Structure 1
Amino acid sequence: MVMDSRYTIHQTKLPNNELIQCYCEAVRYGCDPYFIRILADTITDRGLAIPELSPERQY
């Protein structure tokens, strides 16, 4: 579990596909960079690749 005064992510409870979807949406909507970093770190901790988003998907 990643805990911070702002965010808590239960790393083992969020399925891989939902974690990646959450990351993509967070980037797309311009969420807090710290939150995006937590998601990215969780993705890499699971041995998954961080998706490369095309510029049109980020808007």
Structure 2
Amino acid sequence: MFEYGNPEAILTLLPGAPNDLGHTPVDDFDHFCSVTGCPHDDAWAKLAIVWSKTAQRD
């Protein structure tokens, strides 16, 4: 069942395939956080970045 209020559950449904550089969307999120200071444990921010990266690949 899909849990709309649970970003971690939503993340499990998104594809995590590597891009042409070998980075997964979660790798991109970790890099984003290291550059911007975004907290690595912010599940909603992680979902936004992963969703965005996944949508760009389609």
Q: TM-score, normalised by structure 1?
A: 0.32
Determine which structure has the larger helix proportion and give its number.
Answer: 2
Determine which structure has the larger strand proportion and give its number.
Answer: 1
Q: Which has the higher contact order (CA 8 A, sep 6+)?
A: 2
